[in-house]
Amino acid sequence: MPHNYPGRQLAVSKYQYDLFVIGAGSAGVRASRMSAQYGARVAIAEDLYLGGTCVNVGCVPKKLLMYAAHFEELFRDAVGFGWSIGNPVFDWVELIKNKDKEISRLNTIYNKLLDQSGVQIFPARASLIDAHTLNVDGEIVTARNILIATGGWPWVPQFPGCEHVITSNELFHLKQLPKRAVIVGGGYIATEFACILNGMGSEVKLIYRGDLFLRGFDRELREQLVEEMMKKGIDIQFNTEVARIDRCEGGLLIELGDGKQIESDCILYATGRQPRVEGLGLAAAGVICDPFGYVEVNDYFQTSVPNIYAIGDVIGRVELTPMALAQGMAVAKTLFQDTPSQVDTALVPTAIFTQPSVATVGLSEEEARANYADIAVFTTKFTQLKHTLAGNTEKTFMKLVVDKTTDRVLGAHMLGPDAAEIIQGLAVAMRAGATKAHFDSTLGIHPSAAEEFVTMRTATR
Ligand code: FAD
């Protein structure tokens, strides 16, 4: 789809707004604030919660729960360092109450940020009537440009008993911590919640129909994570499918494809997400979606209708908050700064907040082998200093994938505490074109785990 650049759009207009944004999640909030700062008359509609998925039922509450879950291990480890802790008790209700308080604080901040930028907020559901007209909870509103930033929603397959399962949305509001939890899925949300509930004391089973979770990530990294999660007591069953779920006296009864049965108190399905486009009026306005329902856009996030743009999870590219933010900036610059802008998707760093955590940037070993003639792989696996006195058997794993022809580092991968914090810095180096020689000539910070990334001298293969 060629980009039909509409030019700077701040001339006197017959429309009420220069930009109307549907959805106040990461993508919509960033686009509307930036556009307003560039002088555009902007409105935004949000029908659930300001801040969208990330703030309310995604990154933020997930990470808060992950912190809570990690204390269990820290209390145990503390004994090796001379502390007597007694018998720590975890209170789910207190955690959820405090988490909700923090999220409502963030909702207020988002409201203020939009307000102070001059963006008009409609706490309402919006849909398209045509390319320039919207129905906002019954009110007719016109806009020169429209931005679809409606995000996604959990997807659960239809099967007998599927009404008994919950998704990540509901998990954040459970009334009590389940004693036994079954998690179905193989993506980052499934693995993260398995570790969260396990850390809090639930008996956790993770069921995935594939042969190894986290498809697309480096295979060796995924295998190391399986080992660590199992060591922490999570029962992981690959190549396993759920046939049906029924209520039973003790809770819920899952029948697996091979006829085996599992009883559980809570079944969390983390089997993927779908774009939130139902009832949006896309067809009425002429906006084309792909066969999975994602809104089709060109490199400038313009849909099949030139004045309608779409960004964030609803376009189904890289479904992460920093990507949604970058796309929001790009659309604001394209429309109101005379600067048609794309978003570079090379070397996107990403993390999985499991226990231990995973973070990665660049190519997996498998991707590098498929695309480069000659690569070298450097790996290291060790016990962190802080685990020694604690008697904690958790291992940290690191890997660098290098193009032997140019010496460029193609991929950096880590499993271990603070992986996200460490890989974020390496991502900067890699975007600047760092070679293995740059890594080798960088002095380490001692004693740290991160220094291993600059001391891997001998290739593993
Ligand atoms: P959303 O944030 O979903 O916002 C869309 C908004 O539009 C919603 O508020 C919705 O209510 C509103 N809306 C929809 N339709 C309408 C309508 N018709 N009218 C009015 N309003 C409407 N990403 C990371 O980078 N790191 C993480 O650690 C991470 N963890 C995650 C954990 C979980 C459990 C989940 C589910 C997601 C996680 N993500 C994470 C992904 C991240 O949350 C999304 O990529 C990001 O929120 C996408 O932003 P968005 O603006 O496109 O959509």
The rounded mean pLDDT for the chain is 96
Give the pLDDT confidence of 80-97 residue by residue, as tens digits.
Answer: 999 998 999 999 999 999
Give residue 11's pLDDT: 57
- Write the DSSP string, 105-161: HHHHHHHHHHHHTTPEEE-S-EEEEETTEEEETTEEEEEEEEEE---EEE-----TT
Please report the pLDDT score of residue 337 as a whole number. 97
pLDDT digit string, tens, across residues 392-447: 999 999 999 999 999 999 999 999 999 999 999 999 999 999 999 999 999 999 99
User: pLDDT band for position 1 (50/70/90)?
Assistant: very low
Cβ atoms of 166 and 268 within 8 Å: the answer is yes
Average of per-residue pLDDT across 352-360: 98
> 280 burial class (0-12, 13-18, 19+ CB within 10 angstroms)?
buried
Q: Collapsing DSSP states into helix, strand and coil, what is residue 362?
A: strand
| pLDDT of the residue at 12 | 62
What is the pLDDT at residue 10?
58
Minimal CA–CA distance to 39: which of 332, 341, 342? 332
CA 106, 112, 115, 121 dihedral sign is: positive
How far apart, in Å, do the first and last CA atoms of the chain sit? 43
Residue 194, φ and ψ in degrees, nearest 5: -60, -45
Q: CA–CA separation, 449 vs 398, rounded Å?
A: 10
Which atom of ligand 1 is found nearest the CA of 152? Answer: 3
Burial of 287 (0-12, 13-18, 19+ CB in 10 A): buried
Find out whether the beta carbon of 225 lies less than 6 Å from any atom of ligand 1: no
In the predicted model, is pLDDT for residue 30 greater than 90?
yes
Preceding amide of 356 cis, omega within 30: yes
User: Annotated catalytic, 438?
Assistant: no
For residue 155, is pLDDT > 90? yes
Q: Torsion angle, CA of 266/269/275/279, rounded to 10 degrees?
A: -50
Q: Confidence class of residue 2 from pLDDT cuts 50, 70 and 90?
A: very low
pLDDT computed for residue 89 by the predictor: 95
Is residue 417 a contact partner of residue 356, using CB atoms and an 8 Å limit? yes
pLDDT in tens, 183-201: 999 999 999 999 999 999 9
- Tell me the mean pLDDT in the region 342-368: 97
343, 347, 353, 358: CA torsion to nearest 10: 170
**192-201 residues labelled b (16+ CB within 10 A) or e (exposed):** bbbbbbbbbe
Closest Cα partner for 142 from 118, 126, 121, 125?
A: 126
- pLDDT tens for 65-76 read 999 999 999 999
Ligand 1 centre and the CA of 109: distance in Å?
Answer: 17
Q: What is 169-208 written as a DSSP string? A: HHHTT-SS--SEEEEE--SHHHHHHHHHHHHHT-EEEEE-
The predicted pLDDT at position 9 comes to 55
What span, in angstroms and rounded, lies between the C-alpha atoms of 62 and 55?
A: 9
pLDDT tier for residue 4 given thresholds of 50, 70 and 90:
low
Contact 148, 280 (CB under 8 A): yes
Which residues in 177-292 belong to E strands, given as ranges?
180-184, 203-207, 235-237, 242-248, 251-256, 261-264, 266-269, 273-275
Task: Decide: 43 in ligand 1 pocket, CB within 6 A.
Answer: no
State residue 13's pLDDT score: 79
- Asked if residue 225 has pLDDT above 60, the reply is yes
Distance CA(100)–CA(97), nearest Å, equals 5
Tell whether ligand 1 has an atom less than 6 A from the beta carbon of residue 128. no
Strand partners, 203: 180
**Tens-digit pLDDT profile for residues 380-390:** 999 999 999 99
Give, for ligand 1, the residue of 150, 301, 311, 350 to mutate: max count of ligand atoms closer than 8 Å to Cβ.
150
**Which residue in the block uniquely carries the two structure tokens 């919509």?**
28
Indicate whether residue 154 lines ligand 1 (CB < 6 A).
no
**Cβ atoms of 146 and 128 closer than 8 Å:** yes
**How confident is residue 78, by pLDDT bands cut at 50, 70 and 90?**
very high
Q: Which of 7-11, 76-80, 242-246, 356-360 has the lowest mean pLDDT?
A: 7-11
Q: Report how far ligand 1's centroid is from the alpha carbon of 59 (Å).
A: 9
- Please identify which residue in the block is written with the tokens 């000539």: 441
Q: Please report, rounded to a whole number, the percentage of residues in the chain having pLDDT higher than 70.
A: 97
Q: Is 335 exposed, middle or buried (0-12, 13-18, 19+ CB in 10 A)?
A: buried
